[in-house]
Chains A and B, each alone.
Chain A
Amino acid sequence: MVSAPAAISSDSQTTTRMSAGNITFFPPQPASPASDGPGSESRAPGLIEIAGLDFYYGEKKALDGINLSIEANRVTAFIGPSGCGKSTLLRCLNRMNDLIEDAGIRRGSIKIGGADINARGVDPIELRKRIGMVFQKSNPFPKSIYENIAYGLRIQGFKNKAEIDSRVEASLRNAALWNEVNDRLHDNALGLSGGQQQRLCIARALAVEPQVILMDEPCSALDPIATAKIEELIHELKKRYTIIIVTHSMQQAARVSDRTAFFYLGRLVEYGGTRAIFMNPSNPQTEAYVSGRFG
């Protein structure tokens, strides 16, 4: 990180500020040439717009008035202590929470590409086809490496063998796994190492060409080398995909993400450019967390 301190301070100004108890929403600032952050940030309306979101597990409120705008082709990190609701929010984005009984959104909306994903008539299955997800624990199907990736394609209605073959190869290449497994595509995926399994899961998500990839602590079960590989991969992928990553590791958030959202007790405490959040957090709770005093 070789950015000048000045850039950092200017980044802090664009940080969406809110106190833990306050649920007012500061809309993303209109497009202004941002000199901060890596790359060129634009302030166009985000790809994903979350407004006033309340989420409940039964009677327990898990998310409280979340307002968040996530931009396309960026890596956005969700950080915060356990139980802060970051994974819940992530799973709201592809409606995985639909699978949990008695859980659901009571208020607020999520729009992706301008469309409300919880609107009547929205098919969560169509939604999930465009929003890929990678889980905390690698979860390859007990099938061959090839079949793991082909599964999603078949679900999408691909029938042509040659096309499936080429897509499998392409996504394995994109996930930087091709060179390691191209000679054993038809071996059981459970024979791969933990890091390879996780990259396979990423490849599986890539194969169906989603617009957004959600990553739920994708490296928490991996060793540092495997983690480094995945982080490298994330850097590659953000050229083409919008990536949202939930992580426990603040170093990881700092390394891979462009923007960071800090959650605490179901509330979004602070959201802004990653460097600003880490170097110059505006909220004392954020500061306490990123400096390791709790969490």
Chain B
Amino acid sequence: MNFQTQRTGRHARESIVFALLRAATYAILLCGTLIVGTIAFKGAPVLFKPSFPFINTTFLTSAPETLHVFEYDGRKMELGDREYRAFRGKLAADAAANPHSEIRIPHSEQSYVYSAGGIFPCIVGTLFLVTGSMVLALFFGVSSAIYLNEYARQNAVTRLIRLAILNLAGVPSIVFGLFGFGLFVIFLGWNVSLMAGWFTLAFMVLPVVITASEEALKAVPRGYREASLALGATRWQTIRKSVLPYALPGILTSSILGIARVAGETAPIMFTAAYVVRDQLPWQVAKLGDFLFQGVMALPYHIYVVSTKIPQNEYTERVQYGSTLVFLILVALIAAASILLRNRLRKKHQW
């Protein structure tokens, strides 16, 4: 018998189609790589420097400042607001001490808002926002999942809850922003504050956390529960001792990955938590209440502000790319942390 290929066109057609599909796949990956690559390439000079300590600590640890660009002594000077004032002060003092010298106090020829200094308050604000919303989302999300997976039976109520979760997942983030604004900021009178941002973000990620947690709970073998119940443990003991520890790694990874994703959302915090600029750092408050009810600067919002709300020029590029790169790194770190955490928990509870 002869099993050789009969029609030769088939192979060619097949490989062309598959090559096209493959090209489409890698085109997507290439786009992602290009975007991250561009940002890393242009942001790296802001964030890193060739000499010790290799990291631009000013950018990471100081607040945004206005950049003054002027000519002095025939040299072009670029100074941040504080340095510029100190510089002028010194010149003025020199001039006062030496009335005959020809020290002229330069006038700021050009000033560029937010283009000097760093983004420390934004980093801090984002971290506070993410941590708070993460705690809230995990609390509500994991509890909901426990109820749905461990306690509830299939009935009208659970069906309704599942429907709500499904639909909540599709609600646009800006609508969450409007909702947070309407409920927390106005109705509850929390104003633009950390609390309002926490709840808005937490509610937004809730569907992700619930789904992830449910999947992790489902993955714990039934036998664990049955063995525990058979030993006379109550349902809650069973959940706490024989289910949660094993589900926790899964819950944490997928939830935190989800949370890292929405931590990058700008729309929900625009009207609920983010300030364009704020001089105090979050811990510079008189009492705890003030801490919860203060607005913060946030990195994503800052990126939005510096890329649209201020005049664009050669000096703004620095802060734009720098902030974006820091933001990307931050999101990646949160994701990496969740994976590390999972690995540690896995080791502890192997199954």
Binding site for B on A (CB under 8 A): 112-115, 117, 121-127, 130, 157, 211
Separation in Å of the B7 CB from the closest CB of chain A? 7
Contact A130 B7 (CB under 8 A): no
Separation in Å of the A211 CB from the closest CB of chain B? 8
Chain B residue with the shortest CB-CB distance to A126 = B3
State the majority secondary structure of interface residues on B.
loop
Separation in Å of the A145 CB from the closest CB of chain B? 27
Residues of chain A within 8 A of B101, CB atoms compared: none
Number of interface residues of B (CB under 8 A): 8
Chain B residue with the shortest CB-CB distance to A211 = B1
Task: Offer 26 A-B interface pairs, CB within 8 angstroms, sorted by A.
Answer: A112-B1, A112-B3, A113-B1, A114-B1, A115-B1, A115-B2, A115-B3, A117-B3, A121-B4, A121-B5, A122-B3, A123-B3, A123-B4, A123-B6, A124-B3, A125-B5, A126-B2, A126-B3, A126-B4, A126-B5, A126-B6, A127-B3, A130-B1, A130-B3, A157-B7, A211-B1
1/0 per residue B1-35: CB within 8 Å of A?
A: 11111110010000000000000000000000000
13 further contact pairs, Cβ within 8 A, besides A112-B3, A125-B5: A114-B1, A115-B1, A115-B2, A117-B3, A121-B5, A122-B3, A122-B4, A123-B4, A123-B5, A123-B6, A126-B2, A126-B3, A127-B3
Complex Cα distance, B4 from A115, in Å, reads 10
Q: Which of B1, B2, B4, B5 has the most CB of A within 10 A?
A: B1
Complex Cα distance, B3 from A121, in Å, reads 8
Find residues 280-305 in chain B having any chain A CB closer than 8 Å to their own CB: none
Chain B residue with the shortest CB-CB distance to A116 = B3
A-B contacts at CB below 8 angstroms, number? 29
Chain B residue with the shortest CB-CB distance to A156 = B6
Find residues 154-183 in chain B having any chain A CB closer than 8 Å to their own CB: none
1/0 per residue B61-99: CB within 8 Å of A?
A: 000000000000000000000000000000000000000
Chain A residue with the shortest CB-CB distance to B1 = A113
Residues of chain B within 8 A of A121, CB atoms compared: 4-5
Residues of chain B within 8 A of A123, CB atoms compared: 3-6
Chain B residue with the shortest CB-CB distance to A113 = B1
Residues of chain A within 8 A of B4, CB atoms compared: 121-123, 126
Separation in Å of the B179 CB from the closest CB of chain A? 42
Separation in Å of the B13 CB from the closest CB of chain A? 13
Separation in Å of the B137 CB from the closest CB of chain A? 39
Complex Cα distance, B3 from A130, in Å, reads 9
Complex Cα distance, B6 from A177, in Å, reads 32
Residues of chain B within 8 A of A127, CB atoms compared: 3
Chain B residue with the shortest CB-CB distance to A131 = B3
Complex Cα distance, B3 from A37, in Å, reads 32
Chain B residue with the shortest CB-CB distance to A122 = B3
Complex Cα distance, B3 from A114, in Å, reads 11
Separation in Å of the B87 CB from the closest CB of chain A? 68
Separation in Å of the B18 CB from the closest CB of chain A? 15
Separation in Å of the B22 CB from the closest CB of chain A? 17
Separation in Å of the B5 CB from the closest CB of chain A? 4
Chain A residue with the shortest CB-CB distance to B4 = A121
Q: Which of B1, B3, B4, B6 has the most CB of A within 10 A?
A: B3
Complex Cα distance, B189 from A18, in Å, reads 88
Chain B residue with the shortest CB-CB distance to A112 = B1
Separation in Å of the A242 CB from the closest CB of chain B? 12
Separation in Å of the A73 CB from the closest CB of chain B? 15
Residues of chain B within 8 A of A157, CB atoms compared: 7
Separation in Å of the A50 CB from the closest CB of chain B? 15
Residues of chain B within 8 A of A113, CB atoms compared: 1
Separation in Å of the B9 CB from the closest CB of chain A? 11
Complex Cα distance, B2 from A203, in Å, reads 24
Residues of chain A within 8 A of B1, CB atoms compared: 112-115, 130, 211
Complex Cα distance, B3 from A112, in Å, reads 10
Separation in Å of the B8 CB from the closest CB of chain A? 10
Separation in Å of the A131 CB from the closest CB of chain B? 9
Separation in Å of the A204 CB from the closest CB of chain B? 21
Residues of chain A within 8 A of B2, CB atoms compared: 115, 126
Ordered nearest first, which 8 A-B pairs have the shortest CB separation? A113-B1, A123-B5, A122-B3, A127-B3, A115-B1, A126-B3, A121-B4, A112-B1
Separation in Å of the B72 CB from the closest CB of chain A? 70
Separation in Å of the A140 CB from the closest CB of chain B? 25
Complex Cα distance, B4 from A211, in Å, reads 16
Chain A residue with the shortest CB-CB distance to B14 = A125
Complex Cα distance, B4 from A125, in Å, reads 9
Separation in Å of the A163 CB from the closest CB of chain B? 18
Complex Cα distance, B10 from A27, in Å, reads 39
Residues of chain B within 8 A of A114, CB atoms compared: 1
Residues of chain B within 8 A of A130, CB atoms compared: 1, 3
Separation in Å of the A141 CB from the closest CB of chain B? 20
Complex Cα distance, B1 from A125, in Å, reads 14
Residues of chain B within 8 A of A115, CB atoms compared: 1-3
